[in-house]
Amino acid sequence: MAKYFQIYLFVLLTAIAFYFAYRGYRRVYQNICLGKPEDLTDQPLQRWKNMLLVAFGQKKMFKNVIPAVLHLFLYVGFLITQVELLEVFLDGITGSHRIIYHAVENLPVLRTLYVGLISSIEIASVLVFIGTVAFLWRRFVLKVPRLNKPELKGFPIQDAATILIAEIYLLICIFSMNTADMALHEGKYGFAVSSVLQNLFHNWSHTSLTIMERIGWWGHYIGVLGFLVYLPYSKHLHILLAFPNTYFARLTPKGYVNNMPEITREIKLMMDPSATPPPADPNAPPPRFGAKDVMDLSWKNLLDAYTCTECGRCTAACPANMTGKKLSPRKIMMDTRDRLEEVGAAIAANGGVWKDDGKSLIENGYITIEELRACTTCNACVEECPVMISPLDIILQLRRNLIMEESNAPAEWTSMFTNMENNGAPWQFSQQDRLNWANA
């Protein structure tokens, strides 16, 4: 009876969680699809290589060794815990207990493999515990500067703490489950860490141990489901999106900024007096130069925004930020994501159709003009990002809109443009004097 009740509860909880998770991930996917198309599928070999090295292999993390090692603990722990999760899942839907163990119990090689795997999960979990505590320590006690910048006030800090505490909770569950299970079976499984921990419970009754095992088992599974549902609302989504984001990262040199083909066409018409422009379509929407809102950005910029885990390596390396300017590349990514969430929610509330809300990604509580103007385009943020996000690409697209649609430029830039147009140099020197250096 209890067995069938547990199966029923397991399936019900799983179904509810999957439903909400599906809605969460679908929302993220649909929002990313609001971006403009951009073909990023060339050179698949290079793309696989980037994904394997940078996402799977954590290559760029190792520029900062200490956080990289701590992060590696969590990453490896997360990856191999999936094996135990598989058994939890199979046990849950079949109402059995350690189904994989019992299947291999009498097969020495596979049994050793199983015990070895669970033991390594336990060891990894101890390392995850160390990593998680160290991360909480770095953020809240050491107050590492990049983890305590103004853009993190409010939900972002809460989100970070939630994830770290949830990880500790999951570890407690795993160890309660395995330790009680070991104590109940006189240590016959032989798991590495719980065989030590089980000594703490030698005087517990059979019932207490059974309850502890069940609490650990259910607590772990419910925690995992909660994680799954929470993930698409959290910066922690990077654990999934780091993979597509590195795969689809642009392969051009960092110095390359795309040329706008619509402007090339217009200038070629201007330069060729015999050309006749194609008839204008009176129903066409006015052309948009650069990006004013999230829908004007490429889908890759939007994927970048959802991939960002707010680590702030970009902001710590940003020359403008480190000299006290308002610009923070991380805030560019966070604002893009937050505005995208707002637009996505408005579209959903309006039956799938976008109705202009009079706001945009520039100002309106999002990215300010002052931030955009502070960028030196030095690419330090792009270089630092461990998952190949480009805040610079968004900054440049927003700058284009400010200049070409809003004519919003500092006075010095306006005269610079005029000089460039009139005398082919950013300063007011005559083009006829270009060779004067040779006569000095």
Partner 1 sequence: MKIRTYAEYAAAGETPEILFWVGCAGSFDQRAQKVTRAFAKILHHLNIKFAVLGTEETCTGDPAKRAGNEFVFQMLALQNIEVMNGYGVKKIVTTCPHCFNILKNEYPSLGGNYEVLHHATYLQQLIDEGRIKLTDTDRFKGKRITYHDSCYLGRANEIYEAPRRVLEELDAALVEMKSCRSRGLCCGAGGAQMFKEDEPGNKRINIARTEEALETQANIIAAACPFCNTMLTDGVKSFEKQDQVKVFDIAELIAAGQGLENIVL
Site for partner 1, rule CB under 8 A: 63, 252-257, 259-260, 263-264, 266-268, 270-271, 289-290, 317, 319-320, 322-327, 370, 373-380, 382-383, 396, 398-404, 409-410, 412-413, 416-417, 420-421, 424-427, 429, 431-438, 440
C-alpha distance from residue 407 to each of 139, 263, 402, 404 (Å): 42, 16, 6, 6
Nearest to 78 by CA among 143, 167, 186: 167
Nearest to 332 by CA among 378, 372, 293: 372
Give the residue with the Cβ less far from partner 1, 145 or 410: 410
Query: What's the closest the beta carbon of residue 246 comes to partner 1, in angstroms?
Result: 17
Output phi, psi for 362, to 5 deg: -95, 130
> What is the DSSP annotation of 397-429?
HHHHHHHHTT----HHHHHHHHHHHHHSSSSS-
Name residue, tokens 């619509």. Answer: 262
Query: What's the closest the beta carbon of residue 67 comes to partner 1, in angstroms?
Result: 15
Give the residue with the Cβ less far from partner 1, 209 or 294: 294
C-alpha distance from residue 30 to each of 37, 240, 299, 419 (Å): 13, 16, 10, 45
The alpha carbon dihedral of 67, 69, 70, 75 has a sign of positive
Give the residue with the Cβ less far from partner 1, 274 or 283: 274
Query: What's the closest the beta carbon of residue 95 comes to partner 1, in angstroms?
Result: 55
Give the residue with the Cβ less far from partner 1, 112 or 436: 436
Rg value, the chain, Cα: 28
Query: What's the closest the beta carbon of residue 437 comes to partner 1, in angstroms?
Result: 4
Query: What's the closest the beta carbon of residue 290 comes to partner 1, in angstroms?
Result: 7
Give the residue with the Cβ less far from partner 1, 12 or 322: 322
Q: Three-class SS of residue 367?
A: strand
Give the residue with the Cβ less far from partner 1, 229 or 367: 367
> What is the DSSP annotation of 301-330?
HHHHHHH-----HHHHH-HHHHTT-S--HH
> What is the DSSP annotation of 17-44?
HHHHHHHHHHHHHHHHTTSBP----S-H
Query: What's the closest the beta carbon of residue 343 comes to partner 1, in angstroms?
Result: 23
Query: What's the closest the beta carbon of residue 301 comes to partner 1, in angstroms?
Result: 16
How crowded is residue 96: how many other Cβ atoms within 10 Å of its Cβ? Answer: 16
Name residue, tokens 């350690």. Answer: 98
AA letter at 90: L
Give the residue with the Cβ less far from partner 1, 12 or 420: 420
Cβ contact 354:347 at 8 Å: yes
Output phi, psi for 384, to 5 deg: -75, -30
Long-range contacts of the stretch 368-373 (C-beta < 8 A, 24+): 368/326, 369/402, 369/408, 370/325, 370/326, 370/327, 371/325, 371/326, 371/327, 371/328, 371/331, 371/332, 372/327, 372/398, 372/399, 372/402, 373/410
Give the residue with the Cβ less far from partner 1, 2 or 435: 435
Query: What's the closest the beta carbon of residue 317 comes to partner 1, in angstroms?
Result: 7
Give the residue with the Cβ less far from partner 1, 285 or 324: 324
Query: What's the closest the beta carbon of residue 426 comes to partner 1, in angstroms?
Result: 5
Give the residue with the Cβ less far from partner 1, 109 or 438: 438
Cβ contact 343:410 at 8 Å: no
Give the residue with the Cβ less far from partner 1, 357 or 406: 406
C-alpha distance from residue 91 to each of 38, 208, 321 (Å): 44, 21, 52
Give the residue with the Cβ less far from partner 1, 51 or 372: 372
Query: What's the closest the beta carbon of residue 189 comes to partner 1, in angstroms?
Result: 48
Cβ contact 229:20 at 8 Å: yes
